């Protein structure tokens, strides 16, 4: 008896994971990396720039970027700005903004778990959040300021609502309508369109079609009321902004001139983007091929096909919108976990353990090279990639990384045999790898990606009193970063006001081929991030030469 008790004490986490084990693992994975680094380029910097503008200007109705109108759905920015205001005493704005992503991501994982409970039962449901969080594409966006995460949450909530329609029709319709309306406020119409055919499909398959059709009609009216509140306020106070927003929505729906090519690219992306959900979904389809007409398979199958087509046609083959393909694929993959044959399950388990153990070892070796200079060849490569970086030992970061590594070793030794062992190890290994990147590598990554030093250098080159700065070739992420770090705002060089500015900031070379120097401008500064050595990657600041009467390039 004592031997049995001792064995039970060290047998590891139960599988399927119970509530608290699952919650702790997912919260650790999601919350790691939301803080501790500056805004980076692309969506992260743009979103933080919009939230910064919203907080400083106080104009919550019409989001803008560095003083320029930025017609976009506002729901993510509202929650992010609320987080930044509530936590301004504790965190800088960019870190508090990313906490909104953490909130939406955790909600999405909760809703996909509830939807899986309805479709596949409580015993298999824990696989759903593990598969969603463990998808490679999900990792790319879950830790950045990303409005598409709010849309992903709306989709998972809508699927949960639809799976309840037969059992609890009123509650299911209410959740579906709420998700549809808030999803529109999070990312506009195009991202929510795939849910409408899925709702029609669910109603068509039900034995109570007429009742469910009326309930869903009511939920659509409720969704319109939610979205219409913001649109009505714009109509009254900012009709120009409303017109720009609606025009952008219509343009997006018809902007993709090659929809079949976009769908093909999404299909080619899915094997790695949705790994390991994609192969498990394929296995579930094969293993359950005689059950395709049942709701647990038919609904996610139809939802995936519709989402694939409509995302490809209306949004395009980009990484962030591809997040919307994950929920139906995950719901389809859940029965594949339990039905996986023992040999395949063991192979997947060993693949995950070996892969992440090797990645953890490489992460530690790379950290040693950056901090201690060994191995020397790898240390020289790290400095070559990010010139000027000097690594420093952090006892807190190293301690957390060591603790995570020890927990990983304990987990792979003690986990009991279970069909869910492979996906549990995959998710735990991904969490370890991300924890090591954040605790050991983040200073090196942040050094190469931030625009903080570039913005500070540019601010020193500019006089305190200046009329305006014209900008050319500046991406939204650069505009957002300069405004966020040092309050440097530019106006379009081709605009009437921009042609009168005495300062000109260009990223790379003018697209029309004209030379600022030939147009009567004198270069006074250039700069870029450490790895940006080519002129095409750097920022160039020019001052109008009064003696030559310079004009903006392209004038």
CA 526 – CA 539 distance, rounded (Å)? 5
Is there a single domain that holds both residue 153 and residue 279? yes
Residue 498 has pLDDT above 90, yes or no: no
Q: Is residue 551 part of a domain?
A: no
Cα 400 from chain centre: 25
Q: Is residue 536 part of a domain?
A: yes
Q: Using the 3D structure, point to which of 299, 320, 339 is the last residue of a domain.
A: 339
Is there a single domain that holds both residue 439 and residue 298? no
Q: Is residue 12 part of a domain?
A: no
Q: Using the 3D structure, point to which of 339, 370, 392 is the last residue of a domain.
A: 339
Is there a single domain that holds both residue 248 and residue 298? yes
Q: Give the pLDDT of residue 355.
A: 95
What value does the mean pLDDT take over residues 352-378?
Answer: 94
Taking only the tens place, the pLDDT of each residue in 243-281 is 999 999 888 887 666 788 889 999 999 999 999 999 999
Q: Is residue 254 part of a domain?
A: yes
Q: Give the pLDDT of residue 518.
A: 59
Q: Give the pLDDT of residue 488.
A: 94
Q: Is residue 91 part of a domain?
A: yes
Question: Coil, strand, or helix at residue 315?
Answer: coil
Q: Is residue 288 part of a domain?
A: yes
The domain tally of the chain equals: 3
CA 189 – CA 181 distance, rounded (Å)? 10
Q: Who's near 204: CB < 8 A, 6+ residues apart?
A: none
Is there a single domain that holds both residue 435 and residue 503? no
DSSP symbol at 415: P
CA torsion angle for 178, 181, 184, 186 (degrees, to 10)? -50
Is there a single domain that holds both residue 84 and residue 211? yes
Taking only the tens place, the pLDDT of each residue in 278-333 is 999 999 999 888 888 898 999 999 999 999 999 998 888 889 999 999 999 999 99
Cα 154 from chain centre: 14
CA 533 – CA 128 distance, rounded (Å)? 45
Q: Which of 12-16, 218-222, 415-419 has the highest mean pLDDT?
A: 218-222
Is there a single domain that holds both residue 38 and residue 103? yes
> Looking at the DSSP assignment, which residues form a beta bridge with residue 392?
none
CA 526 – CA 173 distance, rounded (Å)? 57
CA distances from 344 to 279, 280, 314, 471 (A): 11, 11, 37, 56
Is there a single domain that holds both residue 289 and residue 369? no
What's the pTM?
0.93
CA distances from 134 to 346, 510, 519, 539 (A): 18, 42, 53, 38
Is there a single domain that holds both residue 248 and residue 396? no
Q: Give the pLDDT of residue 513.
A: 56
CA 373 – CA 438 distance, rounded (Å)? 20
pLDDT > 90: percent of the chain? 71
Q: Is residue 7 part of a domain?
A: no
pLDDT category, 547, cuts 50, 70, 90? low
Is there a single domain that holds both residue 202 and residue 98? yes
Q: Please provide the average confidence, as pLDDT, over all residues in the chain.
A: 90
Question: What phi and psi values does residue 361 have, to the nearest 5 degrees?
Answer: -60, -45
Q: Is residue 2 part of a domain?
A: no
Q: Give the pLDDT of residue 544.
A: 87
pLDDT category, 6, cuts 50, 70, 90? very low
Long-range CB pairs of 115-121 (<8 Å, 24+ gap) are 115/156, 115/159, 115/160, 115/163, 115/327, 115/331, 116/330, 116/331, 116/334, 118/160, 118/163, 118/164, 118/167, 119/163, 119/295, 119/296, 119/299, 119/300, 119/331, 119/334, 120/296, 120/331, 120/334, 120/335
CA 74 – CA 451 distance, rounded (Å)? 25
Q: Which of 50-59, 192-201, 216-225, 511-520 has the lowest mean pLDDT?
A: 511-520
Is there a single domain that holds both residue 107 and residue 254? yes
Q: Using the 3D structure, point to which of 307, 339, 371 is the last residue of a domain.
A: 339
71-93: b (≥16 Cβ within 10 Å) or e: bbbbbbbbbbbebbeeeeeebeb
CA 220 – CA 537 distance, rounded (Å)? 47
Taking only the tens place, the pLDDT of each residue in 133-158 is 999 999 989 999 999 999 999 999 99
Is there a single domain that holds both residue 180 and residue 289? yes
Is there a single domain that holds both residue 307 and residue 351? no
Residue 537 structural domain? 452-544
């Amino acid at each position: 008896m004592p031997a049995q008790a001792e064995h039970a004490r060290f047998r590891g986490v139960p599988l399927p994971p119970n509530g608290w084990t699952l919650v702790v693992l997912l919260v650790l994975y999601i919350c790691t990396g939301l803080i501790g680094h500056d805004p980076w380029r692309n969506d992260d910097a743009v979103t933080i720039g919009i939230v910064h503008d919203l907080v400083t200007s106080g104009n919550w109705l019409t989001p803008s970027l560095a003083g320029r109108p930025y017609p976009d759905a506002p729901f993510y920015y509202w929650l992010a700005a609320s987080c930044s205001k509530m936590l301004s005493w504790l965190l800088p704005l960019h870190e508090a903004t990313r906490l909104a992503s953490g909130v939406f991501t955790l909600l999405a994982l909760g809703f996909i778990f509830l939807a899986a409970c309805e479709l596949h039962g409580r015993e298999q449901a824990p696989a759903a959040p593990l598969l969603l969080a463990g998808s490679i594409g999900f990792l790319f966006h879950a830790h950045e300021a990303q409005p598409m995460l709010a849309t992903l949450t709306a989709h998972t909530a809508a699927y949960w609502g639809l799976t309840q329609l037969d059992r609890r029709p009123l509650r299911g319709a209410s959740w579906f309508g709420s998700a549809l309306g808030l999803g529109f406020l999070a990312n506009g119409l195009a991202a929510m369109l795939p849910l409408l055919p899925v709702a029609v499909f669910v109603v068509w398959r039900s034995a109570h079609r007429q009742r469910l059709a009326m309930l869903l009609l009511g939920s659509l009216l409720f969704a319109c009321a939610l979205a219409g509140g913001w649109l009505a306020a714009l109509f009254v106070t900012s009709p120009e902004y409303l017109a720009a927003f609606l025009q952008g929505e219509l343009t997006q729906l018809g902007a993709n001139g090659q929809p079949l090519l976009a769908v093909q690219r999404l299909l080619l992306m899915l094997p790695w983007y949705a790994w390991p959900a994609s192969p498990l979904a394929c296995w579930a389809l094969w293993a359950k091929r005689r059950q395709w007409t049942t709701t647990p398979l038919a609904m996610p199958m139809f939802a995936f096909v519709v989402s694939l087509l409509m995302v490809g046609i209306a949004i395009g083959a980009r990484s962030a919108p591809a997040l919307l393909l994950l929920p139906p694929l995950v719901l389809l993959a859940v029965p594949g976990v339990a039905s996986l044959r023992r040999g395949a399950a063991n192979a997947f388990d060993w693949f995950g353990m070996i892969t992440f153990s090797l990645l953890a070892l490489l992460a530690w070796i790379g950290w040693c090279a950056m901090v201690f200079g060994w191995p020397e060849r790898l240390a020289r490569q790290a400095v070559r990639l990010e010139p000027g970086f000097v690594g420093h030992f952090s006892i807190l970061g190293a301690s957390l990384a060591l603790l995570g590594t020890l927990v990983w070793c304990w987990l792979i030794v003690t986990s009991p045999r279970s069909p869910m062992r492979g996906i549990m190890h995959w998710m735990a290994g991904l969490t370890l790898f991300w924890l090591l990147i954040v605790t050991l590598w983040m200073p090196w990554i942040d050094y190469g990606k931030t625009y903080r030093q570039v913005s500070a250098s540019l601010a020193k080159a500019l006089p305190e009193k200046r009329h305006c700065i014209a900008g050319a070739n500046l991406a939204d992420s650069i505009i957002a970063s300069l405004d966020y770090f040092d309050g440097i705002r530019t106006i379009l060089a081709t605009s009437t006001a921009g042609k009168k500015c005495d300062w000109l900031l260009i990223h790379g070379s003018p697209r029309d081929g004209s030379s600022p120097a030939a147009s009567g401008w004198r270069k006074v500064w250039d700069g870029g991030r450490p790895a940006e050595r080519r002129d095409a990657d750097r920022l160039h600041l020019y001052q109008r030469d009064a003696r030559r009467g310079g004009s903006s390039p392209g004038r």
